[in-house]
Structure 1
């Protein structure tokens, strides 16, 4: 019986896509959290800012306080990221976060991190993170680049099209009891169509394809686009799945 289940491999991290849109973040790693639509507050004397952080401040992308950290800065904060060249100060901030149950990442101090930043590849809605659990950040970057190089061209655009189709389908069949059928039908579309087809799918194609949801059929894209497609009667040989 035990052979039917995967073997437990300890020592890993739970990799999550953390939704922090509109969450308040006290941040030292600017771009990662801004890409996730977080509300970022930077607290640092101006002399301690690097070029990118100074740019984000001047462009109005983040809120900024030109001073050292104060415990009151944790009020209303959902996440804390530190990049302080003072181990004692970093630990003090971490302890305050623990007391207030705020998730924190203390730069270069793994024991004082509730989460880590992996090496991330981004293509539109597609995000792939590689983590070595702190063993080799540079190697994580190398692995991430290799994975990205092997991905099909246009995969991000294909995902965007599938997302658009799913949203249309939810409007067409919004009932809760339709959930299992929606998922099965969308799975068939993704498995039956090539990535090139999904990338090439247009609004008109989506509308015509949705016309076959009720009958639980998935015609091929090239068949769907035939001008006289509506005149065909399904005889089992038309490329439907």
Structure 2
């Protein structure tokens, strides 16, 4: 078959367009972060006032219970009293958690928003997992990564500061080692500095509540965090905050020393 000049021109134009598209995509790929599959979606899951069911009462369960209580969840433990370790028994006695004194039954899931299973019975654990999947309840089955909607990483806590290290189920002990190294590198009183920044943000929102002020508030707060040392953020008093906030409208961020000199 003989090709016409028009056909040849069309094919040449298509080839050029294809090359231009590949070049453009190649340039864009250098602009945006590369996708790295195989990870987890790391989020700060809010379970405040949510119902968390813990199945089991041993050492692993005690850790799960503490994590849930630290997040202000309503925790229910289902486990025979004979299976409670000292810590879990203490939390039951102190009414920090509700206790169902028997083995797990399917209807225990009726009001559950999250399930944490920590028992030494693989068959029973899998049954809990299957029931949770049927009801679309997020669940973690201890030591069984394929039966987990989420993992518990190695945690560091300093007031409002929370740092989690996860190996995505590959090496829990290594996660602990990495977490310890990170924690040891943090300046002292980091948590206290963050608490003061939080108080300053609340005060700023009170004097500049307009939603249109959002970008300006964020920029000014960012400048405070960058300009002030952690030591100064820790030392900042309520009076210092009020003095600093008088400079918000101008966008200035004077030092703590300048603030105190002006107030004296």
TM-score of the pair, normalised by structure 2: 0.85
* Match in the other structure for 2:69: 34
The alignment partner of 1:189 has SS state of helix
Structure with higher helix content: 2
What is the CA-CA distance between 1:96 and the residue it aligns to?
0.8
Aligned pair partner of 1:179 in 193, 214, 231: 214
- Unaligned runs of at least 5 residues, structure 1: 230-241
Partner of 1:156: 191
RMSD, matched Cα: 1.0
- Cα distance, 1:140 vs. partner? 0.5
| Residues 18-71 of structure 1, C-alpha deviations (whole Å, 9 max, x = no match) | 111111000232111111110000001111111111111111100001011111
- Looking at structure 1, the residues matched to 257 and 40 of structure 2 have their Cα atoms a distance apart, in angstroms, of 44
1:21 aligns with 2:29: no
Q: Structure 2 residue aligned with 1:71, among 90, 106, 120?
A: 106
Is it true that 1:203 corresponds to 2:203 in the alignment? no
User: Which position in structure 2 is the counterpart of 1:103?
Assistant: 138
Aligned to 1:5: 32
Q: Deviations over 1:152-188 (max 9, x none)?
A: 1111000000000000001111111111110011001
User: What's 1:236 paired with?
Assistant: none
Q: Rg: which structure is higher?
A: 2
**Which residues of 2 match residues 47-126 of structure 1 at below 5 A?**
47-126=82-161
Aligned residues: 229
Q: What is the TM-score when the length of structure 1 is the normalising length? A: 0.93
What's the CA shift for 1:228?
A: 6.2
Match of residue 165 from structure 1? 200
